[in-house]
């Protein structure tokens, strides 16, 4: 269980936050100099250098979005120009990519962040440029919303790249694309000119995720532990009935893959903020955040799956600080970076210091060695990240991931704004 520290504040973390973005600048420059778009998207590091991993193209937005966050945090315009130029030159295929459920990852991290900076008055409001970003986000949200399967209860979900039977818990955080597209007045036009609400699809998906991917200790099955999360929910595509849990990247359908848990924590919490309150979203956010607190070592860094078989060799792993160098099971620092933001946002929304202080505790650990990468020759920012362990695609001890680095920057920016009493960081416009 996390040993929640009550003495931490965003202002108290300022030295660590400034060090984070100081190191981040050099990492972004290093990757920019060495990476060519023809190589695909950088995914994980191998011996400190970013490499690609062909599966789905879901990480390129994190690469260029990181430069935009760097500008947001420091005001260094070279990073704004880098992020803006790369977004315009490289990201267009992601807007109309019909084969993935990852639009919020790629396109809100780039076009969406640039649009947000205009709305906040951080960069000039050049009309053609603003309209360009608006059109990009509108297209992205509508294309993602096309991946739609109906459920037997009248709802539905955005199906994963596995096909119409598959709902991934990850997708809860990519709903950003639908929400911002809706905010901009866009709809998905269907057969017979039917106008389909993007916000309605986002909320139906969120409710399906809350109902099927999250457990509440209400006797659903023999493994119904409150806050546990299944990576994948399987439906009968013919009639829309839910069939069973599954897992692509976790150890099993009946254990909790902690990055999937973190996506749920963060996605539900920020949707709750956007909606201004919602019983279903709040129930899911609280359950998942409580599970994280109760099933993570005292320092706030989780192991990659709470049911991983090698954990028994670590003894009482919930009561001992995480060991990223242990020979049995890897930790996943990327889950910590994502989950910390969920804890902080839920605490802010509910005005509940337990969640806020838990999030600060995670960040206090994450933004220091051995997780913060201080080696100038290493391109990663946050060490000890895991990708797809069942497939053997694990970065592991000493390595980084593009999503871990991006989300460390994002939660760092979130805290920096709180510490400096600047506008609250949110993904939506207005």
Report DSSP letters for 330-377, one per residue: -B-HHHHHHHHHHHHHHHHHHT-HHHHHHHHHHHHHHTSTTTB---TT
Strand partners, 396: 385
Instruction: Retrieve residue 31's tokens.
Output: 């990757």
Q: From residue 350, how far is each of 2, 293, 300 by CA, in Å?
A: 20, 16, 21
The predicted model scores a pTM of 0.98
Compute the distance between CA of residue 259 and CA of residue 71 in angstroms, rounded to an integer: 27
Tokens 């290093």 — which residue?
30
- The C-alpha torsion from 271 through 274 and 279 to 280, rounded to 10°, is -20
SS3 44: strand
Terminal Cα-to-Cα distance of the chain (whole angstroms)? 37
Nearest to 84 by CA among 106, 61, 64: 64
- Which pLDDT value is given to residue 395? 67
Instruction: Domain 11-419: give its CATH code.
Output: 1.50.10.10
Give the Cβ contact number of residue 352 at 10 Å. Answer: 15
- Which pLDDT value is given to residue 350? 98
Strand partners, 382: 372
- Which pLDDT value is given to residue 204? 98
Tokens 């919303």 — which residue?
145
pLDDT by 10s per residue, the chain, length 430:
999 999 999 999 999 999 999 999 999 999 999 998 888 899 999 999 999 987 778 999 999 999 999 999 999 999 999 999 999 999 999 999 999 999 999 999 999 999 999 999 999 999 999 999 999 999 999 999 999 999 999 999 999 999 999 999 999 999 999 999 999 999 999 999 999 999 999 999 999 999 999 999 999 999 999 999 999 999 999 999 999 999 999 999 999 999 999 999 999 999 999 999 999 999 999 999 999 999 999 999 999 999 999 999 999 999 999 999 999 999 999 999 999 999 999 999 999 999 999 999 999 999 999 999 999 999 999 999 999 999 887 667 899 999 999 999 999 999 999 999 999 999 999 8
Q: How many CA atoms lie within 13 A of 303 on its CB side?
A: 30
Q: Where are the beta strands (DSSP E) in 41-189?
A: 42-46, 49-52, 148-150, 156-158, 166-168, 188-189
322 phi/psi in degrees, rounded to 5: -60, 140
Omega before 210 cis (within 30°)?
A: no
- Which pLDDT value is given to residue 56? 75
Give the Cβ contact number of residue 300 at 10 Å. Answer: 27
- Which pLDDT value is given to residue 37? 85
Long-range contacts of 74-80 (CB under 8 A, 24+ apart): 74/21, 74/25, 76/25, 79/25, 79/28, 80/117, 80/123
Instruction: Retrieve residue 405's tokens.
Output: 């680095």
Q: pLDDT tens digit string along 93-103?
A: 999 999 999 99
Instruction: Retrieve residue 130's tokens.
Output: 């603003």
């Amino acid at each position: 269980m996390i040993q929640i520290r009550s003495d931490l504040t965003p202002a108290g973390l300022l030295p660590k936050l400034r060090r984070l973005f100081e190191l981040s600048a050099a990492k972004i420059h290093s990757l920019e100099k060495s990476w060519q778009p023809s190589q695909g998207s950088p995914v994980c590091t191998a011996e400190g250098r970013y490499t690609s991993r062909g599966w789905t193209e879901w990480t390129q937005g994190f690469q260029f979005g990181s430069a935009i966050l760097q500008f947001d945090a420091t005001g260094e315009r070279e990073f704004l120009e880098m992020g803006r130029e790369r977004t315009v030159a490289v990201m267009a295929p992601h807007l109309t990519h019909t084969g993935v459920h990852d639009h919020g990852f790629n396109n809100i991290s780039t076009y969406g962040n640039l649009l947000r900076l205009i709305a906040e008055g951080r960069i000039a409001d050049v009309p053609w440029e603003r309209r360009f970003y608006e059109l990009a986000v509108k297209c992205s949200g509508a294309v993602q919303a096309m991946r739609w399967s109906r459920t037997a209860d009248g709802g539905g979900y955005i199906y994963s790249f596995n096909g119409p039977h598959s709902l991934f818990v990850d997708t809860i955080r990519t709903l950003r694309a639908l929400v911002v597209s809706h905010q901009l007045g866009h709809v998905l036009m269907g057969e017979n000119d039917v106008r389909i609400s993007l916000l309605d699809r986002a909320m139906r998906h969120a409710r399906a995720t809350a109902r099927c991917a999250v457990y509440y200790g209400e006797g659903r099955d023999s493994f119904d532990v409150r806050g546990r999360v299944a990576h994948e929910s399987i439906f009968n595509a013919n009639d829309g009935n839910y069939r069973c849990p599954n897992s692509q990247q976790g150890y099993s359908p009946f254990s909790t893959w902690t990055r999937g848990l973190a996506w749920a924590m963060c996605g539900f919490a920020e949707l709750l903020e956007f909606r201004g309150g919602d019983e279903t979203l709040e129930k899911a956010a609280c359950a998942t955040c409580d599970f994280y607190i109760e099933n993570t070592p005292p320092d706030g860094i989780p192991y990659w799956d709470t049911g991983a078989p090698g954990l028994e060799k670590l003894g009482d792993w919930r009561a001992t600080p995480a060991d990223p160098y242990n020979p049995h099971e890897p930790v996943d620092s990327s889950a910590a970076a994502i989950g910390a933001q969920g804890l902080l946002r839920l605490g802010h929304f509910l005005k509940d210091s337990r969640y806020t202080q838990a999030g600060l505790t995670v960040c206090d650990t994450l933004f220091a060695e051995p997780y913060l990468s201080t080696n100038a020759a290493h391109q990663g920012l946050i060490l000890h990240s895991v990708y797809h362990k069942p497939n053997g695609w694990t970065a592991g001890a000493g390595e980084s991931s593009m999503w871990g680095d991006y989300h460390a920057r994002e939660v760092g920016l979130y805290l920096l704004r709180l510490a400096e009493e600047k506008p609250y960081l949110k993904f939506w416009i207005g």
